[in-house]
Copies of this chain bind each other. A is one copy, B any other.
Amino acid sequence: MTNKNHPCANCSFYEQSLWRPVAGANMSTLARNFTRREMEAGSVLYHQGAPSDGVYCVSRGLFAIRSFGPDGSSSLLRLAYPGELIGYRAFLTGRDHRTEAQALLPSRVCVVAQRDAKQVVRACPEVLTRLAVRCADELDLCHDRIQEAARSPNKERLAQLLEQLMAAHGTKDGRFERMHLPISRQDLADILGVQPETLSRLIKRLQSEGRLRTSGRWIEMPGPMQKHVI
């Protein structure tokens, strides 16, 4: 039994959303008004240092979750695809955002929780459980990333990253267009933790091994697509 009043009810990602198991809950206790929000590519949903303004569910598009160091350098911590939740860290802790969420494509988000976390937990503890589990999931991904960073060389990590990006945004023949998914060389380098010059050399090395082809804005890779993990 789903709740037709919820903005996610018509999303194809509704099944993954926060709300499926709590369809009968009194929504008004969780957010003043459930709104969708359309975002242009490049616009920012919430900034680093801003106070929590709610939990969002990505229903269309793609978001980059970034963090900026005191010296202005940025790290791309993860990508948020449709069906994923963002903004829950600040919501759970009641502290300011430590990351910024920038739309990489024209995107749409649903506001799934807006009121104070303490009100939410009273009104619907199951929602808090879901948020906590999602937080634990992201922790797992971070642990994986820390481990992999110490082990596999950057060349392999680049190959995996490109496979993942193409699995999400490549066409059926395994071609991945950077301009349609506006990730710059700098962004790719950030993800891998290397400099853009090094990234250029990594790509070249993969090309020379026949594991990757580039033609203009396209990157082509052979092999099967994989599930996304950043």
Distance in angstroms from A134 CB to nearest chain B CB is 9
Q: B-facing mask of A81-115, CB < 8 A → 1, else 0? A: 00000001100110000110000000000000000
> Quick one: given A73-B151, A146-B77, A147-B67, are A89 and B139 in contact (CB under 8 Å)?
yes
Contact of A132 among B92, B138, B143 (CB under 8 A): B92
Q: Does A23 contact B (CB under 8 A)?
A: no
Taken together, the copies of this chain in the complex come to 2
Which residues from 59 to 75 on chain A have a C-beta closer than 8 Å to any C-beta of chain B? 67, 69, 73, 75
In the docked arrangement, what's the CA distance between A8 and B96, Å?
A: 31
Size range of the chain A interface in the assembly = 35 or more
Which of A12-20, A122-130, A165-173, A214-222 lines the interface with chain B?
A: A122-130
Distance in angstroms from A198 CB to nearest chain B CB is 12
Contact of A193 among B89, B139, B149 (CB under 8 A): B149
In the docked arrangement, what's the CA distance between A55 and B72, Å?
A: 38
Which residues from 143 to 188 on chain A have a C-beta closer than 8 Å to any C-beta of chain B? 143, 145-147, 149-151
In the docked arrangement, what's the CA distance between A22 and B117, Å?
A: 17
Q: Does A137 contact B (CB under 8 A)?
A: yes
Centre residue among A122, A132, A137, A151 by max chain B CB count within 10 A? A132
Q: Does A199 contact B (CB under 8 A)?
A: no
In the docked arrangement, what's the CA distance between A92 and B75, Å?
A: 28
Chain B contacts for A202, CB-based, 8 A: none
Chain B contacts for A146, CB-based, 8 A: 75, 77, 142, 145-146, 149, 193
Q: Does A118 contact B (CB under 8 A)?
A: yes
Nearest 8 interchain pairs by C-beta: A150-B193, A142-B142, A132-B132, A125-B125, A121-B125, A135-B135, A75-B147, A89-B136
